[in-house]
């Protein structure tokens, strides 16, 4: 696929259809891949990479990139197209300035999951029939491919692209995913157990803002948490409950707009399963307002932005809280 | 050298924790390791390093500096400082141990930061030599030997026994406090382990990385380099690198109204954040390029300029593992360096 | 435990002068009376209203004033808005002194001095000017060129008229940006006025004002034959600690709070252009 993508990009550059390409750049190791802009065929040939570790969603970069002069080619995985659509809907990107080539998505690998197995000194990782052959400075190791899959890919919601100008590879389907399993598990806990679960998870937060800054739904010019006038601007918790509030408020802010791309959990240095907060909102919206998937289209009105007489009463919150 | 059998390690921990707070790296359920206060039954993590560095012990993420009580036009200043209690951090790696000497150069320089000094004086750092360095390790670049860590006392494992030696009086005190558990041991197998580790260190992918191109006199070469644009283009402007970094020490001071008075606290801050240098009338670092450049220039040029050539990085590799977009000091050094 | 510079002292505001529509000068003493601490001209202090914020301000009064310190503060952000709303008798917190000072006892001694200020930029220079006036024998000719947007925006106008202009030992040249009723003095921007006055190149220059004014003034001085080693200025960046640790005011290997705020232009030239 990497080869086909490089060729496609070179051709679109040569034909003058696009001026720049956003993709991913090879790193020092097999897994440390950085989103990058390419402007020439030479740059593409030298550094462009698309492999099992290329997981970053580049949609958010298009907020800025699509406002620059000229047209940019973006390779979007199915999950990334939901984010891009949502950004169109919110008038955050200039659609005409982006040429989208849909590419097959994951499952992508998580280097941290390999390291968790005690495998270190990693020099190369090869997927041979869904067994990872890992060459390390300590010798060769193997592990099953699926044990190293990113959490966001393990509960993939769709292999289908929601928007593209052109497709590379075969189109997939929307999946019947297991993504609400953990949410249900949390719902079935007692209030105290659930509280303890989140307190433990959120107490790990170092307030680095990686989740917010990577989130394609967090595109405010000035975040409320960075605004001294908001009264809640803080870089660190002034008390032990504050971290919890940061994440809960953020989840509220992206409710109905989060496409469940999973980037928040992928980038969290402390492995906090932040996506579960967002999934709870998605699940509740589905329950109360009818099935809705943010980023599926660019025109429909989101349930939380639209009033219908059939909307559930507000007291539902109170009733559920009492359960 | 004095030793204790690895299977008796919990006895050592029990003995230490009986008289003072002991912190050991331990595994979390999610796979990350972190320092926790030792409690019976706690197992020492086998991970190479903790996600958060050990700087937290001396420079915590948040701390109360001073309290104020406001009464009409009057203000009362309440000094909330208390003498810290003695504590031991066990299992600090060579990189983090070196980071303390870097932090000392900032916080113990005149005027001394009494908050930092207080904890530094009461903390005993017991280091642990590495035996399984990772591909992200490059402490050797900064002259650190992962097999011979600094610290008040150092431990070395040969797979069966843990050998321990003091580097100073504080370390000797620590050893004396547990001497009944220790016995003289033969270090021949340990020497083998250490030379094996050193062989591995030489084979690591970043073993050839050098600081030759960097230093305090390189400001003009690098500040105006045209590489910063490409290097910083995908930076998210988050604080992950800063907060997992053992040597980053920028901080913010803020006030919090508790309703019963004002708490003035200090917390970690990041030069990667857009508001770091923002003033009422403008911001000298307007784009992420300038903020990104500041972080790396500080570690590779400005810090050495003020500290006899010592760099502001210890090669722990945390930013290499944790940066959401995998941009880090190694990539910056390789892009900038003059071959 | 020893004192820590981050723990402030209490200061009592004993007098507030409305200098211009957006600048007030605050007189501060310790609760026991007298100055909270000693300083040298050009040094700064951290002032705070707990719960609102803390910021660095240059000490406007001269160290030769043995009774109180003064701060001329322009209303432009959250803390300064609060400070402007204070009444006499209000306590604030104060810590310092921070930073270096103009080298009044070394390089500047015996020299002919030219002070050039724009707007609120007079605040840090006022300390030096009054210090020099009180130690007049130690310095040669003294000239002050000061300009502001309008007559009403001239900080410390009353003191300038009553004391400086009445002092035969210093020359004071004022200018405002635009003509105004009741103003028969010079009209025009400071950098142009400096060129018109064509001061002797033997003078050592101390300049402070908005960045754009400093930029053009320096260019003008160079045209007149001044070199960068003759010109001093004082800088302002965001600061939190005041002692070179919090990292905010770092430019190159310098910390403005500790190694500055006073720099000579040749020294500034060695720093990255990030201020």
- Chain B residues touching residue C240 (CB < 8 angstroms): 251-253
Alpha-carbon distance of B325 to B323, in angstroms, equals: 5
Can you tell me the mean pLDDT for A230-247? 71
ipTM: 0.93
Query: Closest Cα of chain B to A100: distance in Å?
Result: 19
**Is A239's pLDDT higher than 70?**
no
Q: Are residues A200 and A316 in the same domain?
A: yes
Q: Are residues A130 and A87 in the same domain?
A: no
Q: Residue A256: its pLDDT value, please?
A: 93
Closest by Cα among B89, B119, B83, B117 to B17: B89
By residue range, what is the domain housing residue A216?
Answer: 179-323
Contact B133 A267 (CB under 8 A): no
Task: Provide the token pair at C257.
Answer: 């709070």
C15-56 pLDDT tens trace: 999 999 999 999 999 999 999 999 999 999 999 999 999 999
* Residue A40 near residue A30, CB atoms below 8 Å: no
**Is A323's pLDDT higher than 60?**
no
Alpha-carbon distance of C144 to C149, in angstroms, equals: 17
Q: Residue B110: its pLDDT value, please?
A: 92
Nearest to B264 among C1, C3, C50 (CB): C50
**Is C154's pLDDT higher than 60?**
yes
Query: Closest Cα of chain C to B218: distance in Å?
Result: 11
Q: Are residues A130 and A245 in the same domain?
A: no
Q: Are residues A48 and A166 in the same domain?
A: yes
Nearest to B77 among C7, C87, C249 (CB): C7
Can you tell me the mean pLDDT for C164-188? 92
Q: Indicate which of C13, C243, C247, C250 best probes the interface with B, i.e. most B CBs within 10 Å of its own CB.
A: C247
Q: Give the residues across from B33 on adjacent strands.
A: B27
Q: Indicate which of B33, B62, B137, B335 best probes the interface with A, i.e. most A CBs within 10 Å of its own CB.
A: B62
The domain total for chain A is: 3
Q: Residue B121: its pLDDT value, please?
A: 97
Task: Provide the token pair at A54.
Answer: 């290329």
| Residue A240 pLDDT class (50, 70, 90 cuts) | low
What percent of chain A lies above the pLDDT cut of 70?
96
Q: Residue B256: its pLDDT value, please?
A: 86
**Is A106's pLDDT higher than 90?**
no
- Local structure of C22: helix, strand or coil: coil
Q: Indicate which of B284, B289, B305 best probes the interface with C, i.e. most C CBs within 10 Å of its own CB.
A: B284
Can you tell me the mean pLDDT for B300-307? 95
**Is B49's pLDDT higher than 80?**
yes
**Is A230's pLDDT higher than 80?**
no
Q: Give the residues across from A149 on adjacent strands.
A: A109
Look-up of token digits 């289908």: A160
Q: Residue B55: its pLDDT value, please?
A: 96
| Residue B283 pLDDT class (50, 70, 90 cuts) | confident
Q: Are residues A213 and A280 in the same domain?
A: yes
Q: Residue A245: its pLDDT value, please?
A: 83
**Is B47's pLDDT higher than 70?**
yes
**Is C232's pLDDT higher than 60?**
yes
Q: Give the residues across from C73 on adjacent strands.
A: C24
Q: Residue A236: its pLDDT value, please?
A: 66
Alpha-carbon distance of A284 to C260, in angstroms, equals: 57
**Is B259's pLDDT higher than 90?**
no
* Residue C205 near residue C231, CB atoms below 8 Å: yes
Alpha-carbon distance of B35 to B25, in angstroms, equals: 4
Alpha-carbon distance of C23 to C76, in angstroms, equals: 9
Q: Are residues A134 and A240 in the same domain?
A: no
Name the CA radius of gyration of chain B, rounded: 22
Chain C, residues 199-238, CB within 8 A of chain B, namely: 236-238
Terminal Cα distance for chain A, rounded: 50
Q: Does B229 touch chain A (CB under 8 A)?
A: no
Can you tell me the mean pLDDT for A122-136? 96
Contact B223 C272 (CB under 8 A): yes
Touching C (3+ Cβ pairs <8 A), the chains are B
Q: Is the peptide bond before C243 cis (omega within 30 degrees of 0)?
A: no
**Is C258's pLDDT higher than 70?**
yes
Query: Closest Cα of chain A to B178: distance in Å?
Result: 31
Q: Residue B175: its pLDDT value, please?
A: 96
Single pTM value for the model: 0.93
Alpha-carbon torsion angle C154, C156, C161, C166, nearest 10: -130
Give me chain B's average pLDDT, please. Answer: 94
Can you tell me the mean pLDDT for C55-75? 95
Can you tell me the mean pLDDT for B276-299? 90
Nearest to B240 among A115, A120, A269 (CB): A269
Report the side by side order of strands in the sheet with B62-71: B74-78, B62-71, B262-268, B251-257
Domain boundary among A134, A162, A177: A177
Q: Are residues A126 and A48 in the same domain?
A: no
Contact B325 A56 (CB under 8 A): yes
CB contacts < 8 A (B, C): 121
Q: Are residues A127 and A1 in the same domain?
A: no
B236-249 pLDDT tens trace: 999 999 999 999 99
B107-131 pLDDT tens trace: 999 999 999 999 999 999 999 999 9
Q: Are residues A185 and A88 in the same domain?
A: no
Task: Quickly list DSSP for A163-204.
Answer: S-SEE-S----B----TTHHHHHHHTS-HHHHHHHHHHHHTT
Q: How does DSSP classify residue B162?
A: E
B260 contacts: CB under 8 Å, gap ≥ 6: none
Can you tell me the mean pLDDT for A229-258? 79
Q: Residue B173: its pLDDT value, please?
A: 96
Can you tell me the mean pLDDT for C52-71? 95
- Local structure of C4: helix, strand or coil: coil
Q: Residue A233: its pLDDT value, please?
A: 72
Alpha-carbon distance of C57 to C194, in angstroms, equals: 27
Q: Residue B12: its pLDDT value, please?
A: 95
Query: Closest Cα of chain C to B3: distance in Å?
Result: 38
Q: Does B317 touch chain A (CB under 8 A)?
A: no
**Is A155's pLDDT higher than 60?**
yes
Q: What are the two backbone dihedrals, phi and then psi, of residue A210, each rounded to the nearest 5 degrees? A: -60, -40
Contact B113 C6 (CB under 8 A): yes
Can you tell me the mean pLDDT for C132-158? 92
Q: Are residues A155 and A218 in the same domain?
A: no
What percent of chain A lies above the pLDDT cut of 90?
79
Ranking A170-179, B16-25, B94-103 by mean pLDDT, the lowest is A170-179
B171 contacts: CB under 8 Å, gap ≥ 6: B124, B126, B151, B152, B153, B154, B165
Q: Are residues A166 and A253 in the same domain?
A: no
Domain boundary among A99, A127, A148: A148
Q: Residue B126: its pLDDT value, please?
A: 98
A255-311 pLDDT tens trace: 999 999 999 999 999 999 999 999 999 999 998 888 999 999 999 988 888 888 888
Give me chain A's average pLDDT, please. Answer: 92
Q: Are residues A199 and A226 in the same domain?
A: yes
Distances (CA, A) of A196 to A182, A247, B223, C223: 16, 15, 48, 71
Q: What are the two backbone dihedrals, phi and then psi, of residue A120, each rounded to the nearest 5 degrees? A: -140, 170
Q: Residue A322: its pLDDT value, please?
A: 60
B94 contacts: CB under 8 Å, gap ≥ 6: B127, B129, B130, B139, B144, B145, B146, B147, B148, B149, B150
* Residue A90 near residue A257, CB atoms below 8 Å: yes
Contact A213 B200 (CB under 8 A): no
């Amino acid at each position: 696929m990497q080869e086909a993508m490089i060729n496609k990009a070179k051709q679109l550059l040569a034909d003058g259809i696009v001026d720049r390409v956003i993709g991913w750049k090879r790193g020092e190791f097999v897994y440390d891949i950085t989103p990058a802009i390419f402007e020439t065929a030479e740059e593409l040939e030298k550094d462009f990479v698309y492999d099992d570790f290329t997981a970053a969603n580049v949609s958010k970069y298009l907020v800025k990139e699509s406002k620059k002069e000229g047209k940019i080619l973006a390779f979007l995985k199915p999950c990334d197209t939901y984010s891009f659509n949502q950004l169109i809907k919110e008038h955050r990107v200039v659609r005409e300035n982006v040429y989208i080539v849909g590419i097959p998505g994951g499952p992508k690998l998580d280097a941290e999951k390999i390291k968790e197995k005690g495998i270190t000194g990693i020099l190369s990782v090869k997927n041979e029939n869904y067994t990872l052959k890992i060459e390390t400075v300590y010798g060769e190791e193997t592990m099953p491919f699926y044990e190293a899959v990113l959490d966001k890919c393990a509960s993939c919601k769709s292999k289908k692209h929601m928007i593209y100008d052109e497709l590379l590879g075969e189109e997939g389907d929307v999946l019947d995913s297991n993504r609400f399993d953990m949410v249900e598990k949390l719902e079935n806990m007692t209030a105290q157990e659930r509280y303890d679960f989140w307190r433990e998870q959120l107490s790990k937060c170092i307030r680095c803002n990686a989740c917010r800054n990577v989130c394609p739904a967090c595109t405010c010019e000035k975040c409320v948490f960075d605004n001294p006038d908001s009264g809640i601007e803080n870089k660190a918790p002034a008390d032990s409950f504050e971290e919890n509030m940061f994440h809960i408020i953020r989840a509220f802010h992206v409710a109905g707009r989060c496409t469940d791309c999973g980037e928040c959990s992928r980038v969290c240095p402390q492995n906090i399963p932040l996506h579960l907060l967002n999934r709870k909102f998605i699940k509740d919206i589905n329950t109360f307002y009818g099935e809705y998937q943010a980023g599926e289209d660019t025109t429909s009105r989101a349930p939380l932005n639209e009033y219908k007489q059939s909307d559930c009463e507000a007291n539902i919150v109170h009733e559920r809280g009492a359960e | 050298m004095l030793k204790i059998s690895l299977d008796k390690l919990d006895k050592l921990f029990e003995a230490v924790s009986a008289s003072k707070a002991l912190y050991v790296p331990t595994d979390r359920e999610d796979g990350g390791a972190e320092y926790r206060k030792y409690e019976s039954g706690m197992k020492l993590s086998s991970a190479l390093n903790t996600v958060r560095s050990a700087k937290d012990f001396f420079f915590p993420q948040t701390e109360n500096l001073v309290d104020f009580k406001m009464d009409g036009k009057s203000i009362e200043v309440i000094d909330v400082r208390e003498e810290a209690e003695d504590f031991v951090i066990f299992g600090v790696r060579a990189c983090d141990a070196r980071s303390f000497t870097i932090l000392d150069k900032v916080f113990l320089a005149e005027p001394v930061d009494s908050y930092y000094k207080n904890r530094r004086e009461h903390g005993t750092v017991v280091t642990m030599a590495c035996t399984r360095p990772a591909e992200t390790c490059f402490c050797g670049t900064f002259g650190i030997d992962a097999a011979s860590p600094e610290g008040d006392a150092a431990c070395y494992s040969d797979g069966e026994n843990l050998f321990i030696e003091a580097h100073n009086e504080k370390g000797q005190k620590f050893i004396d406090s547990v001497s009944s558990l220790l016995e003289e041991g033969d270090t021949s197998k340990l020497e083998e382990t250490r030379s094996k580790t050193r062989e591995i260190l030489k084979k690591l992918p970043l073993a050839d990385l050098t600081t030759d191109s960097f230093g305090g006199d390189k400001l003009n070469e690098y500040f105006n380099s045209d590489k910063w644009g490409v290097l910083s283009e995908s930076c998210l402007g988050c604080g992950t690198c800063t907060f997992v970094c053992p040597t980053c020490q920028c901080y913010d001071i803020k006030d919090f109204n508790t309703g019963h008075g004002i708490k003035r606290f200090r917390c970690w801050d990041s030069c990667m954040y857009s508001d770091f240098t923002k003033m009422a009338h403008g911001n000298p670092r307007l784009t992420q390029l300038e903020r990104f450049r500041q972080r790396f220039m500080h570690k590779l040029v400005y810090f050495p300029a003020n500290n006899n050539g010592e760099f502001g990085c210890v090669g722990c590799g945390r930013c290499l593992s944790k940066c959401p977009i995998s941009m880090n000091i190694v990539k910056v050094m390789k892009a900038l360096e003059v071959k | 435990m020893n004192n820590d510079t981050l723990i402030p002292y209490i200061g009592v505001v004993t007098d507030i002068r409305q200098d211009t529509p957006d600048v007030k000068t605050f007189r501060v003493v310790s609760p026991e009376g007298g100055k909270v601490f000693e300083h040298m001209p050009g040094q700064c202090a951290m002032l705070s209203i707990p719960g609102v914020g803390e910021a660095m301000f240059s000490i406007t009064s001269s160290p030769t004033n043995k009774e109180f310190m003064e701060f001329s503060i322009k209303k432009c952000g959250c803390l300064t808005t609060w400070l402007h709303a204070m009444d006499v008798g209000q306590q604030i917190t104060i810590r310092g002194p921070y930073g270096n000072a103009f080298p009044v006892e070394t390089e500047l001694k015996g020299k002919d001095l030219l002070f050039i200020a724009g707007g609120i930029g007079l605040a840090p220079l006022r300390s030096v000017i009054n210090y020099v006036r009180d130690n007049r024998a130690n310095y040669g000719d003294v000239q002050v060129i000061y300009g502001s947007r309008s007559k009403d925006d001239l900080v410390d106008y009353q003191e300038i008229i009553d004391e400086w202009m009445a002092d035969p030992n210093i020359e004071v040249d004022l200018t405002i940006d635009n003509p105004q009723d009741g103003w028969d003095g010079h009209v025009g921007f400071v950098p142009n006025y400096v060129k018109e006055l064509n001061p002797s190149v033997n003078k050592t220059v101390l300049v402070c004002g908005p960045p754009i004014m400093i930029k053009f003034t320096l260019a003008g001085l160079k045209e007149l034959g001044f070199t960068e080693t003759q010109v001093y200025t004082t800088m302002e960046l965001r600061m939190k600690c005041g002692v070179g640790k919090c990292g905010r005011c770092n430019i190159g290997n310098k910390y403005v709070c500790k190694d500055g705020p006073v720099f000579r232009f040749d020294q500034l030239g060695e720093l990255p252009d990030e201020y």
